[in-house]
Structure 1
C-alpha cells in the first residue's frame, strides 16, 4: 500500500496533462470531422477530392509516424511546434479523419425523403442541412463520437514519445527510477485511465438517451 501512496501524488500531474491534451485534441478532432465530413458530401468535386485525400492519408498512416513527422520533421520546413501543440495537432488530425467518416455516414443515413420534403418547402441547401439533416444526423453520430473520444484518450499515451510529461511518461519515469514499482505503476495507470474514460462513457450514454426522447420507434 505504501508504494501506491508514493506513486499517486507523483503521477497526478501527468494525469492533468493527459486531460488537457484530451480536451484540446477532441475539440480539434470534432471540428475537423465536421469540416471534412461535410466536405465529403459536398456538391463540388474539388472539395470532395481534397477532403478525401486528407481522410485517406491520415487513416492510412500510423499515428506514431504522424506524431513524429509533425514534431521532428516540420522544424526542417521552418515550423517548430511545442510538444503539447504537436501532440494536439497530430491527435486532432488523426482522429478527426476517423470521426469525419462518422459525420459523413450519419448524413447519408438520413432518408432522402427528408431532403425532398425540405426542397418542397423551398429551403435553401444550407437551410436543409442546418434545420433538417444535421439535427437528425447528430443523434446518429453520438455513439461514434463516444468511441472516437475513448480511442483518442488511449492515443494520448503516445505523446510521451515526444517528451511530453503526460500520464504514461510520469508512470515510466517512476518505474525506471524504482524497478520494484513496476506492477503498482501500471495498476495505477490502468485505474487512472479508466477514471478519465468513465465520464466520457456516461456522458455519451446520457446524450444518446436524451437525443432519443420523442423519436418514434420503428
Structure 2
C-alpha cells in the first residue's frame, strides 16, 4: 500500500492536469449543451412546421446516435475530404458532449415549458403581453424551476461522459488513472477515480440544488437557496406551503 501512495505522489501533477481537462470538458460541454437545449427546446414548440421539423430532426439525430460515434466522426472523419475540417481535440470533445446532451436537454426544456399550467398562459394573454414578454417574463421563470432537476441529472451524465473523450488522444482524468493503474494496481487506481468523480458530481449537485432553490424562492415557493446548499435535500423536502424566507 505504501508503494501505491508513493506512486500516487509521483503521478499527482499529471492527475491534476487530467482533472483540469475533465473539468474543462464538463464546463464547456455543459455551457454548449445549455445553449442548444434552450434554443432547440424553444424551436421545437414553434407553430411553423418547417422550424419545428428542423428542430425535431436535430434533436432526434443527436439523441439517437452514440456519443462515441459522434466523437469519432468529428475527430477522425471531418479532417477527410470533402470536409477537410480539423478540430482541436478538446474542442471536439466539448462539441460532441454539447450536441449530445444538449439534444436531451432540449426535450427537458420543451417538456418543462409545456408543464406550466394553462392558467399562466391565459393570464399572459389577458395582460396583452407580446410573445417574447409572455415567454421570458412569465412562462420561462416557472419552467426554469421545473427543468433544473432534470438538467442536474444530465449534467452529472455529461461529467461521466467525459471519460470516453480520452479515446481521441485527450489526456484527461480517466487517461491518467489508466497510467496510474500500471504503476499501482487496478483496485487502488479506479477506487481513487470513483472518489474523484463522486466528489465532482456531488459539488455540481450542490450548485444545481442551490439554483433550484433560488428559482423556486423567486416564485414564492420552497426554501432559501443558502439552506439548499447546506442541505441538498432541502429543495425536495420543501413543498409549496413551506415557510417563505428572504434570500
TM (norm. structure 1) is 0.94
Aligned runs of 1:46-195 on 2, under 5 Å?
46-76=50-80, 77-176=83-182, 178=183, 180-195=184-199
Matched, 1:11 2:11: no
Give 1:29 deviation, angstroms.
Answer: 0.3
Q: Deviations over 1:42-67 (max 9, x none)?
A: 12211111110011011111111011
Matched, 1:217 2:221: no
Give 1:188 deviation, angstroms.
Answer: 1.0
Partner of 2:49: 45
Partner of 2:229: none
Give 1:116 deviation, angstroms.
Answer: 1.5
Give 1:5 deviation, angstroms.
Answer: 4.4
**Unaligned residue ranges in structure 1 (runs of 5+):** none
Q: CA RMSD in A?
A: 1.5
- Number of aligned residue pairs: give it: 216
**Unaligned residue ranges in structure 2 (runs of 5+):** 222-238, 242-247
Q: Distance in 2 between matches of 1:130 and 1:212?
A: 16
Give 1:202 deviation, angstroms.
Answer: 1.0
Q: Which runs of 4+ in 1 moved over 4 A?
A: none
Q: Is the 8 A contact 2:141 2:215 kept in 1?
A: no
TM (norm. structure 2) is 0.84
Give 1:115 deviation, angstroms.
Answer: 1.4
Q: Distance in 1 between matches of 2:5 and 2:46?
A: 53
Q: Distance in 2 between matches of 1:4 and 1:188?
A: 11
Larger proportion of helix: 1
Q: Distance in 2 between matches of 1:57 and 1:5?
A: 47
Q: Identify if the C-alpha distance between structure 1 residues 83 and 170 changes in structure 2 by more than 3 Å, giving closer, same or farther.
A: same
Q: Distance in 2 between matches of 1:128 and 1:134?
A: 8
Give 1:11 deviation, angstroms.
Answer: 1.5
Q: Identify if the C-alpha distance between structure 1 residues 5 and 106 changes in structure 2 by more than 3 Å, giving closer, same or farther.
A: farther
Partner of 2:225: none
Partner of 2:230: none
